[in-house]
Amino acid sequence: MKSIVIHAAQDLRIEEQEVATPGPGEVQIKMVAGGICGSDLHYFNHGGFGTVRLKEPMVLGHEVAGHITALGAGVEGLSVGQLVAISPSRPCRNCRFCDEGMFNQCLNMRFYGSAMPFPHIQGAFREVLVADATQCAPADGLTAGEAAMAEPLAVCLHATRRAGPMLGKSVLVTGCGPIGVLSILAARCAGADRIVATDLGPFPLEMAKAAGADEVINMAETSDALAGFAAEKGTFDVLYECSGAAPALASGIDAMRPGGTIMQLGLGGDMTVPVQTLTAKELSLKGSFRFHEEFFTGVSLMQKGLIDVKPFITHNFPLEDARAAFKMAGDRSQAMKAQISFA
């Protein structure tokens, strides 16, 4: 079978690998769709991010869906031919955080396509994958492309859960890449009333508007465009900071009302935080990292028609054109979510 393997920055190869047979509690899946994530792009463009660097060749990918082709012994509730979304979250279930139900903080997490540990955790951009049955969310009624969006959607659902009650709240989203746009969908589904989104480019803002943002603001055109929202101690109850940029966080904090909650999703490296304003307004600054059970919730919400991700799958490439797919995925002027077709 063919797999998409990164060797070093810009060194992306399609390689042949052996097809595995499912063991007890496992299923074999013929991959259909895989979405290119920001972390995949970091490996492709820079060979890693921060202190996380490639030390050996690694199969990329963790936003995937496909059809079951074989069941291992003891697998129930799944069937051959069934479309499943595959959660990349594989906690050990034995460490202290797993014992506390904090599976996304697992000390021994095996998350597809991650160079954090060594040996690296190989990813899911391959024609055939063997996965634990517990990772598989039945995706009946969805397309494979929609099912593959369950992973980034789960990131946003986890952040929304951590943000607390959303009903009637006023929300600011800074950074309208896939996570920002899906955060708009998640916040609205949770009951948010007013949603304002900011970015530096017109295309991401068009996508934010399509996702249901009440107002979009191009910060490249007017850097102090949020100043009006800072009057009388601020406007917004919740901030989804999805850019990882210090200026976005600072302007967002100025626009927050006292007692509000900041959800930091963007991973742009360490940032300077205006602590004095944070303290005076009694704001809560919360990190949000990955997800676990929200993956299955995301699939269910899509199946019920409560969240529609189809408009945000903007490009699809065959496996043979993986390099072109990665190039397009990094072009924020025209791509929201680029996916690779394995079928």
Give the pLDDT score at 85: 98
Residue 158 lies in a domain: yes
Residue 237 maps to a domain: yes
Q: Are residues 81 and 23 in the same domain?
A: yes
In a domain, 293, yes or no: no
> Which residue is it, tokens 């129930």?
76
Helices (H), 166-293: 178-189, 202-210, 246-254, 275-280
304 in any annotated domain: no
Based on the fold, state whether residues 59 and 122 are members of the same structural domain: yes
Same domain, 111 and 9: yes
**132 shares its domain with 198:** no
Domain extent for 33: 2-149+309-341
Name residue 150's amino acid.
Answer: A
Dig out the tokens for 226 from the structure: 């949020």
- Domain check: are 76 and 163 in the same one? no
- Take residue 311 and report the two structure tokens written for it: 């408009």
Residues 317 and 225 in one domain: no
- Give yes or no: residues 90 and 115 share one domain: yes
- SS3 label, residue 196: strand
Does residue 167 share a domain with residue 141?
no
Question: Is the preceding omega at residue 119 within 30 degrees of 0, hence cis?
Answer: yes
Q: Are residues 126 and 252 in the same domain?
A: no
* Domain count within the chain: 2
Return the percent helix, strand and coil in the chain, to nearest 5: 30, 30, 40
User: What does the pLDDT read at residue 294?
Assistant: 97
pTM higher than 0.85 for the full model?
yes
Domain membership flag for residue 61: yes
Is 294 contained in some domain?
Answer: no
Residue 71 in any domain: the answer is: yes
Supply the pLDDT for residue 270: 79
195 and 216 both lie in a single domain: yes
| CATH number of the domain that residue 274 is part of | 3.40.50.720
Dihedral over Cα of 326, 330, 334, 335: its sign: positive
Instruction: Report pLDDT for 181.
Output: 98
- Predicted confidence at residue 295, as pLDDT, reads 98
Q: Are 181 and 207 in contact (CB under 8 A)?
A: yes
Residues of the chain with pLDDT under 70: none
The DSSP annotation for 120-132 comes to: -B--S-BSEEEEE
Q: Give kind and range of the element (H or E) at residue 115.
A: none
Q: 336: domain CATH number?
A: 3.90.180.10
Residue 321: inside a domain, yes or no?
yes
Same domain, 280 and 175: yes
Same-domain status, 21 and 144 = yes
